[in-house]
Amino acid sequence: MTPRRTSPPGTGTLRMPAEDALLAATQERQGTPTTVAALLRLTGAPLSPGELTARVSEAWAGVARLRLRAATDGGHGRYRWRAVGPDRFPVPVSERWLRPGEELDDAVAEQLDRCLPAEPGGPPWEVVLVHDGARQAVVLGAHHALLDAQSLAVLVRLLGEGPGALTAFDGGPDVTHRRPPGSWRGLAAALRCWAPSACLRDRVPLPAPRRVTARVTVARSTVTAARRALPERPVTVNDVALAAFAGALRAVPGALGGRPGPSGVRCLVPVSSRPALAAEHCLGNLVSAVRLRLPVEAEDPVERLRLTHRAMSGHKRRGTAAGAARITRFACGRGPAGVHAYVALTVARARVAGGTSCSNVLLCDAPLTLCGRPVAEFTVFSCLLPRIAMLTMFTTYGESHTLTVTAHHLLRPRLPALCAAFAREVDALAAACR
């Protein structure tokens, strides 16, 4: 959604869209980090901070979205974006060395636990060069109100070189997107989907979290085969990821802090509102969401896939995600000042976590390099919002899919088993098509 400008182009104040304001209020009023992160694992010769700084300045200086700063009007909840001029474009690149016993996942989790901006009035994003002995990685962190996961992918492709890279744009295309209005049918579907009776089920009591992360990689060819487990239906990559995650939860009782009940697990499924042909030029927080009951109770992997596909197809047919975005815009975009803070406060005060959230993001089909170093791994992690015990992202880079998990720190002992069970579920679906 395009921020509405209230001052001359280039600098000044922009009205913050409702979706951005909700995330800004969640962090500001509750101190809950709403940071998303991208991880790039590099191979080849060591990369110096100077090289990375120069490349960031060259690739991103023209991206207008990165010159936005969050601001409030006297603490009354009137959230705005404040645009600074190109001459004030910063390059917040820092370094971090892994301590003995630490892994890259620990560095990512530390980034997700940071509230951005690091200093009042500073940029709500930062770049960290992580050193792991002879190996290196780059972690890009950003406030979710500024950028969503797909936007991180766009920025990384602008930063990189090679077949998967994007050419730089002048800062115009990244703020031209407007959300579809949503039909009355979609509005009714969203009201049913988000009804209080549905939202109150399957909650898991957990104290305030620290974030931990984990990830597992599966071959793209295996997921392609798994989609053919239902040859008569147009199964998507997202359907496979959701069904496999449901199977993993079934295989690892207590993975969310308690055994899933007979009604399954309620899952938040983000849905991008980008037009398909413009996805590579849309930066921002451009997502809505639907709620899905994961069929944890189903014993057969193919049956879990069938139930998941049917439920997601129904949401697409009814336009539930567009209807949910319409409700958010009406409630927060046209409501009185401070409604964003009130909604964020109500959500964050709950002492329960509402199951999980699962999303699917295509990062890049072709390989990337960064300053001449091959990018061996490129994936994205999202923030752990209030009421969510565990969040997963199923990302695609080159010939691999990676499931990334951001979870409550008390769930850390179960994450290795959960990731392994997810990979087995995808293998089982792929074997079913033979």
Q: What are the angstrom distances between the C-alpha of 392 and each of 175, 195, 197, 418?
A: 27, 23, 24, 11
* Surface-to-core class of residue 107, CB atoms within 10 Å of its CB (0-12 exposed, 13-18 middle, 19+ buried): buried
pLDDT attached to residue 223 = 95
pLDDT score of 196 more than 60: no
Q: In terms of Cα–Cα distance, which of 38, 129, 45 is closest to 372?
A: 45
Sheet strands side by side (includes 135-143): 93-97, 125-132, 135-143, 35-42, 373-381, 369-370
The lowest-confidence range among 135-139, 183-187, 218-222 is 183-187
- What are the residue ranges of helices labelled H in 17-174? 18-30, 49-60, 104-112, 149-159
pLDDT at 246: 92
**Structure confidence at residue 169 (pLDDT):** 56
Taking alpha carbons only, the member of 274, 289, 1 closest to residue 145 is: 1
pLDDT at res. 368: 95
Q: Which residue has the higher pLDDT, 72 or 154?
A: 154
Query: Number of H helices and number of E strands within the chain?
Result: 12, 18
pLDDT, the chain, mean: 79
CA separation, residue 202 to residues 125, 293, 380, 382 (Å): 34, 10, 27, 22
d(CA 4, CA 394): 32
Look-up: residue for tokens 């590099």?
42
Encode 13-63 in three state secondary structure.
Answer: EEECCHHHHHHHHHHHHHCCCCEEEEEEEECCCCCCHHHHHHHHHHHHCCC
214: tokens are 């984990």
Rounded Cα–Cα distance for residues 50 and 53 (Å)? 5
Q: What DSSP line would sit under 221-268, residue for residue?
A: HHHHHHHTTSTTS---HHHHHHHHHHHHHHHSTTTTSS---TT-EEEE
Q: Comparing C-alpha atoms, which of 394, 407, 177, 128 is closest to residue 285?
A: 177
158 alpha-carbon distance from chain centroid: 19
Q: How does residue 259 score in pLDDT terms, banded at 50, 70 and 90?
A: low
- From residue 330, how far is each of 215, 262, 336, 421 by CA, in Å? 37, 35, 11, 41
> Among the listed ranges 90-104, 179-193, 244-258, 308-322, which one has the minimum average pLDDT value?
179-193
Q: Which two tokens stand for residue 108?
A: 């990512």
The structure's pTM equals: 0.84
- Write down the pLDDT at residue 210: 82
Show the domains of the chain with their CATH numbers.
Answer: 4-169 (3.30.559.10), 186-363+385-432 (3.30.559.30)
Q: According to the model, what pLDDT value does residue 376 have?
A: 95
Most confident of the following: 15-19, 122-126, 274-278, 418-422: 418-422
- How far is it, in rounded angstroms, from Cα 33 to Cα 36? 9
How many CB atoms sit inside 10 A of residue 196's CB? 6
For residue 278, the 8-state DSSP code is G
